[in-house]
Structure formats: C-alpha cells, structure tokens
Amino acid sequence: MITPTPLMQLVAGAWGFKTLAVGVEFGLFTRLAGGRTITVAETAAELEIDERPADLLLAASASLGLLDKAGEGYRNSELAEQFLVEGRPYYFGAQVRYSDLHTYLPWHRIGEALRGNRPLTWDPQQQKSMFDTTDPDLVTEFWDAMFATSRFTARTLADAYDFGAHRRLLDVGGGAGAFPIEFCQRLPQLQATILELPHVCVRAEERIAAEGLTDRIGTVAGDFLGDPALPDGHDVILLSMILHDWDEPTNRALLTRCHAALPPGGAIVISELLLNDERTGPPEAALMGMNMLVETEGGKNYSGAEYATWLDDAGFVDARIVPFDAPGANGAVVARRP
C-alpha cells in the first residue's frame, strides 16, 4: 500500500541538514576526534546548553549516522571522524558551513527563482557572476567550501581515470587547487597549472604552499570565459564542477577553446554530477540543477550524452563516461583531440 511516508522523509530532509549544520557550528565532531566518547551531561556543559537540547542533538546526530552510541556516551561515527573533524585532509565541514550560511535561506524563496528565472544569492545588476566578488569573508567561505567538496572528489576521480598517462594538467577554474594537489601527490611525473581569477589564485597558492607543491603546481590569473584563449602547453584539461554553472552556448564556446589549447592526442576530462539521458535523476544531479537556479543565471546540470555531443561538435573524438561516486561528481566525460 502506498503511503505518504516518503513525502514526510523529504520534509525531514531539511531537519537533517540543520542538525548536521548545527553540529558543525558547535564543533561537536571536532571535539570527539580520536575516539573520544561524551555523555549528555558532558555535552551540555561543553556546549553551554541545557541537557534537554544536548540529548536531542546527540540522538538526532546518531540517527543520521554521524554519531555512534556506546553505553551512556556518544562518539563519532566513521563518517564524522573522517570528514567532519577540522584539520583532516578531507574535512567536509566547510561545505556544510557555506551551505548553511549562504544558500539555505535563499532556497526558502525557490518559488521566486522559478517565477523570475534569476539567482537569489547575488544580484546580476551588481555582479557579472556569483564568482565576481572580493568580499574577504565570502571569498574565504566559498572557496573553502569548494575545496572541501573537491578534495575527495579529486581522490575518487584519480582512482577512476588514469592521469598517469599525462605530464601537464590545466585545471580550468580550478579554485583553491584541490584536484592538482591530490593528483600531484600521487603522480610524481605530473605538473599542473590552475587558471583562475586573480583573487582565487592567491587562495590556491596558499594551499599549494601548505602542501609543499609550489615547484609542481602553478597558477595563471585569468578569466576562462572572457580570455580569447586558454594557456597552452598541457596534454590534459580538467573541467571539474565548471560547466553546470553556465548555459549551453557558453559551455560550447569554452569547449572550443579547450580544443584549441590542446595538442593532438591531448585529453579533456569533464567531471560533474551527470543527469541520466532521460533527465529523471539521479537526485543529487537533478537537485544540484535546482541549486543552479538559486545560484546562477544560466546554469543547470546536464547529461553525459549532452556533454558527448558538445565535445563531438567541438572536434573531440572517442567521448566516454567514466562513472564514480563522490560528493562533487558521479562521473567524468573523457574525450581526446585527434
């Protein structure tokens, strides 16, 4: 018998996110790093809240798989220990924090975005795009969030696609450098260049220096949409979580410039949350498309077949989909310049 229970689960999805977000806000998971166990009374004392809300927070976090119960105490689950403890290589809390502070409330006005077909997190009359800001707090929060999502995605993509066949990588719109950092740490022959806006290059250079990779990863300040050509001298170009921000004509033009920048035999890798060809899922890709309605003027999520068509029209050949499972992508569309 069909019931409305699945609908209630969708309603409760917002509650689950906010439980996760407040746990990150209070530093709950970082406090429990290394296997520490905490009781309700200890939680209340440390977080400076009453025991009733402490009890509810711990129970809800356990129900979401973020905490495990051990006697009267709670400790981090493996998921929280790996991804919600500050300082860990694949810390994901920055993405949680950014979404909570900057996209959650605009999503409450999703009907406005549907009716007006315009973003809600920035004003197109004041900015060229969501990336056109030098507000120091927003720059830090946004690019830290992108790094958090990208770092584990990079690890998973590197397992799925052999970047060892290449020598020089161009990461177009590479943010703070998560992909080149991850790739270069595992592939000693690889050199990389990040093409980014000037103020983002500063963030990337800080991350690269912290990882000790300044001799192998460089940055080029530029605008991959406005510049007439992309930097040459690379045998593979990466577009990771880039094309969903823009409309089809913009993406086709960028792929044409990618083709021009690569030598014969060079490869292009498009890493994205790919829709299926029927545009009915998976949910993470379709819902990211809705988020593009909130955050961009023309962005949406596309299918692997759409990307393959655009690549073919731009002059690439042998387009194929490499599936994997990561927070920022569920697959890559790979092709080469003949």
Question: Which residues are part of the catalytic machinery?
Answer: 244
**Cα–Cα distance for residue pair 263/85, rounded to 1 Å:** 42
CA 229, 201, 198, 326 torsion: positive or negative?
positive
SS3 74: strand
Rg (C-alpha) for the chain, rounded Å, is: 21
What count of other Cβ atoms lies within 10 Å of the Cβ of residue 220? 16
DSSP 279: S
- Kindly state the greatest CA–CA separation across the chain: 66
**Cα–Cα distance for residue pair 168/213, rounded to 1 Å:** 14
Quick check: 268 and 262 in contact, CB under 8 A? Answer: yes
Quick check: 244 and 274 in contact, CB under 8 A? Answer: no
Quick check: 84 and 91 in contact, CB under 8 A? Answer: yes
Quick check: 137 and 143 in contact, CB under 8 A? Answer: no
Tell how far CA 28 is from the center of its chain. 23
Helical ranges in the chain per DSSP H: 5-25, 28-31, 40-47, 51-63, 78-83, 93-98, 104-107, 110-116, 136-160, 178-186, 198-210, 248-261, 283-295, 304-314
**Size of the chain, expressed as the number of residues it contains:** 338
